[in-house]
Amino acid sequence: MTPLREVPPVHRFTTDPSVARYDALLGHSVVRSQVQAVLDEMRASLRAGSTSQLSLDDLRRAMLARLAAAQAAGLVRVINGTGVLLHTNFGRAPLAPAALAAASQLGAGYTNLEYDLVAGKRGSRYERVSAQLCELSGAQATFVVNNCAAAVLLVLDTFARDREVVVSRGQLIEIGGGFRLPDVLRKSGAKLVEVGTTNKTYALDYRNAWTPQTALFMRTHPSNYRVEGFTAEVDAATLAALAKELSVISFEDLGSGALVDLTPFGLPHEPTLREQIGAGLDLVAISGDKLLGGPQCGVIAGRADLLDTIKRNPLLRALRVDKTTLAALSATLALYLEPDKLEEIPLFAMLKATVSELRARAERIREAIENGPKGPLLQVRVCDTESTTGGGTLPLHCIPSAGIAIGARELKPDGLAEYLRRGSPAIVGRVEETELCIDLRTVQPGEDQELILALTRFSQH
């Protein structure tokens, strides 16, 4: 039995390099308290009469497990090997270097966020980004809020409070995270008027639903599901024309919000913001961190007079974005305005990568691991996979891709997956039968080396 007085002191561990490594990540006092907690547990179990012999190594292992868990509970960098390009759990779109530089430069000091430098007086934080969005979409005016959900809420709250909103039964969506259109409508004080059926809605259904209380004809883009087969929807142009005729506002929650045609990237056609504005819709809402490839935010685009009304809604104050978001969004939009720079946006670089490029990367990773120390502990092979855009965009569409499939001797793929998830950076893949699959389309090219390092370290642990 280990006598109580032989429980080692805290500094014995906090000076150990494998533990001290966490100082930079968590702060020394957090590390110290985690180490202390393991030692306290040991003392408690000795007092309770435990006879187990715990070596220094056992203790260190317990501490490292706690520290890794503490680290994983905070925001850490993740290497995304799932092949889901806009994974909502992983923060959707990675930002372009130019967007990060802008956010860092403007976030570090003061900016003219709400100051007109020429006139020397108060200005608007949205002016520059708004001009870029108008140019890219053809809209008269635009406005940026916290996310697309906020954009929808703001439009409904501004125009439909105590009035009626007509929506097709085929478009009464739940986006995920509990954002269900009927609930949002109720919250904003609007009355939902459902028309049509799940599979078929006609223009006449909207016309018949019109009353003097109608504020909006609303469309939602089925960004995360498909209604296929015997179906009919009212297209944006038809709905916009009907709304105009009946003097109500036409509004589309476009969600995924592509700004450019995605077919050159091998994706199915997605309606762009410009197309929907061009179809005559009065207002369109999109998300900033889906197919736009920018920071989390939402954009409302459309008629200038309606945007002016929205800007007077007191709710706006609670939904506005900060300077770093605006800086990142504006820098991302600047890349759209110079078409040869589009692939500086990581989303487009990931889409553009060919299967043979990905296979070549996979082959290099396989070789490095095979030639590494004790390589045979892991079996790595190059495999074909399928990526998806994810994040509630382009449902059911698969993008051919390639990656590595890893089998570990003496360990189930779930165990290997857990080991990699606990690393720094964390690595997340997909378990497929007996292997862990890492799709390289969503692994940034600069991360291949870290992947090799983590897998080599696994062979040695």
Ligand X SMILES: *Cc1c(COP(=O)(O)O)cnc(C)c1O
Residues 210-269 within binding reach of ligand X (CB under 6 A) = 220-221, 223, 253, 255-256
Nearer to ligand X, 60 or 219 (CB): 219
* Beta partners for residue 175, in sequence order: none
Q: Do residues 170 and 201 lie in contact, with contact meaning Cβ atoms separated by under 8 Å?
A: yes
- Measured in degrees and rounded to the nearest 5, phi and psi for residue 256 equal -55, -30
How many whole angstroms separate alpha carbon 110 and alpha carbon 358?
A: 42
Q: Does 148 bind ligand X (CB under 6 A)?
A: yes
Nearer to ligand X, 153 or 399 (CB): 153
Nearer to ligand X, 223 or 324 (CB): 223
Which is it for the CA torsion 437, 443, 448, 452, positive or negative?
negative
Judged by CB under 6 A, the residue of 46, 59, 149, 378 near ligand X is 149
Torsion of CA 77, 82, 87, 91, to 10 degrees: 0
Residue 146: how many CA atoms within 13 Å on its side-chain side? 10
Six token digits for residue 393: 């965009």
Determine the 3-state secondary structure of 313 from DSSP. Answer: coil
Write the binding mask 174 to 203 for ligand X: x where contact by CB under 6 A, - elsewhere. Answer: -x----------------------------
Nearer to ligand X, 218 or 350 (CB): 218
Determine the 3-state secondary structure of 274 from DSSP. Answer: helix
Residues 283-302 within binding reach of ligand X (CB under 6 A) = 287, 298
Residue nearest to ligand X (CB): 255
Nearest approach in angstroms of CB 364 to ligand X is 36
Nearest approach in angstroms of CB 348 to ligand X is 19
Q: Which residues, including other chains, have CB under 8 Å from residue 75's CB and lie 6 or more apart?
A: none
Nearer to ligand X, 333 or 454 (CB): 333
Q: Which residues, including other chains, have CB under 8 Å from residue 416's CB and lie 6 or more apart?
A: 406, 408, 436, 458
Q: Does 325 bind ligand X (CB under 6 A)?
A: no
Write the binding mask 385 to 424 for ligand X: x where contact by CB under 6 A, - elsewhere. Answer: -------x--------------------------------
Nearest approach in angstroms of CB 220 to ligand X is 5
Kindly list the distances between the CA atom of residue 308 and the CA atoms of 24, 303, 304, in Å, as whole numbers in the listed order. 48, 9, 6
Q: Which span sits near ligand X by CB under 6 A: 42-50, 147-155, 326-334, 443-451? A: 147-155
Write the binding mask 3 to 42 for ligand X: x where contact by CB under 6 A, - elsewhere. Answer: ----------------------------------------
Nearest approach in angstroms of CB 360 to ligand X is 34
Q: Which residues, including other chains, have CB under 8 Å from residue 63's CB and lie 6 or more apart?
A: 13, 19, 34, 35, 38
How many whole angstroms separate alpha carbon 103 and alpha carbon 295?
A: 10
Residues near ligand X (CB under 6 A): 147-149, 175, 220-221, 223, 253, 255-256, 287, 298, 392
